[in-house]
A and B are shown apart, each in its own frame.
Chain A
């Protein structure tokens, strides 16, 4: 269970789901803002990848710092 809540597994799964959702829009013929929706879906994936990367880095950093603090307290 602990593994399932870990940053790597959560972020990887969320990213994979975003990729799958993006490709499902390729069959949609909706026009949004003057161009087909698939272009916006790719825009979403592009920016979402950046967001998830930022979340991962700082989530992991906070866990690393917590771990270091615990070590210091134990010392």
Chain B
């Protein structure tokens, strides 16, 4: 049996298992509570692994490693340190109030807290952002299949697209949760295995860094091509994204209790802080030693797996990389479905829709949007990490402050939230498209503008109703603020 056959069989078995999980949960996807939030029944370890799996995408396993290889290792470490700090901050601010609010999506939270206009804007922007996000993720998955197994890129995109669309549409959040749990474990195995293999092969971290400094003296400093304002902007983008991205919010809504919601973040931080962070600290220097002058740095982790492992272990590791792609796109697709069905269809198009009709529209939306993203991914975009980081910046700049203030500050109004969302979104888009600021730096003014607009417009407009004020008092973590 040749190397490629073994790896191909492992990947096929893995994908069949995902489809099997989707099929298993087909009967637990009829109601909105089941399909969007798994009846808020998920425990801390599964939910935390799910949060990690949903966020650690193809960018984390391929694109961000490439950025560290090209622009210096601290750039990759900045991303993961921002992720860990962002998760911690998200846990302080979002986990418990969101769990207590008991809604189906970020737009649903905005709808209840701020009214229909905020719901419409949040849902529309989420659909646009995540649709753009799906494409580079699919590209990452197809690249793995092409590079390792020699499967044509086109076939790879269609294969990955078909698998994730099917298990999301059939099994809903239950399927997404349990596939993400497995994917999270496989991904930690992949990074953990690489860390051990590299450290054993190079006789420990001291030798690894010494050899890397000899091979590439500047590998552990920030490249002059990346100005400090870009580094700060990148940190802020990831930091804000971790709590307020609609797919992270969706996972928080599945936690069984507020305490479990918080514990889930601790689990997710553990996985990022130990496996991904130290994974980067090993893979990037080892890449400089064993694969200097790579033109396709996106594929560094694939070269590493090929370099260190036999076919069976490599097959599991490649499943880990594919898991990085599938877990992210699956949650995002489910979020798109929730926004189309619950926030747009049920709230604006057919207010009398039954629960079954709404879920059916959500499933149809998953199939259509997932299918369209697959078709577009056939013509691949550029460096995955850069594209995802730009999208990361826009998501945090748009949603973080309107959400955070809405959960804690009674005075935040619907008009304030809309001004904050649109202000952050428009300023980020203008600064990015006109290239008025260096790479990633647009998040800094966009996020500040979003914060100021939310506060100022809230203070200038009529205070929220007594009902909303009571809601905020009930959901926020009163113990946490004394």
A interface, CB within 8 angstroms of B: 2-3, 5-9, 11-12, 15, 18-19, 22-23, 26, 33-36, 38-39, 42-43, 45-47, 49-50, 52-54, 56-57, 60-61, 63-64, 67
Contact (A50, B74) CB under 8 Å given A8-B92, A45-B84, A56-B91: no
- Cβ–Cβ contact B273 & A46, under 8 A: yes
Q: Residue B81 contacts which of A2, A8, A49 (CB distance < 8 angstroms)?
A: A49
The 5 closest A-B pairs by CB, nearest first: A6-B482, A49-B84, A34-B209, A8-B480, A35-B220
- Cβ–Cβ contact A15 & B210, under 8 A: no
Interface assignment of B307: CB less than 8 Å from any CB of chain A: no
Residues of chain A with a CB closer than 8 A to B73's CB: 35, 39
- Cβ–Cβ contact B266 & A57, under 8 A: yes
- Cβ–Cβ contact B74 & A39, under 8 A: yes
B interface, CB within 8 angstroms of A: 73-74, 77-78, 80-81, 84-85, 87-89, 91-93, 205-206, 209-210, 213, 220-222, 228, 231-232, 235, 259, 262-263, 265-266, 269-270, 272-273, 277, 281, 477, 479-482
Residues of chain A with a CB closer than 8 A to B477's CB: 8, 60
What CA separation (Å) do A3 and B445 show in the bound complex?
29
- Cβ–Cβ contact B85 & A15, under 8 A: yes
11 further A-B contacts with Cβ under 8 Å, apart from A6-B480, A60-B480, are A8-B93, A35-B213, A36-B74, A36-B221, A39-B281, A42-B81, A46-B272, A50-B266, A53-B91, A53-B266, A56-B92
- Cβ–Cβ contact B481 & A67, under 8 A: no
Closest Cβ of chain B to A3, distance in Å, is 5
Residue of A nearest to B80 (CB): A46
Residues of chain B with a CB closer than 8 A to A15's CB: 85, 88-89
- Cβ–Cβ contact B273 & A49, under 8 A: yes
- Cβ–Cβ contact B81 & A46, under 8 A: yes
- Cβ–Cβ contact A54 & B77, under 8 A: no
What CA separation (Å) do A38 and B77 show in the bound complex?
10
Residues of chain B with a CB closer than 8 A to A47's CB: 273
Q: Residue B482 contacts which of A3, A18, A57, A61 (CB distance < 8 angstroms)?
A: A3
Residues of chain B with a CB closer than 8 A to A2's CB: 482
- Cβ–Cβ contact B209 & A50, under 8 A: no
- Cβ–Cβ contact A57 & B209, under 8 A: no
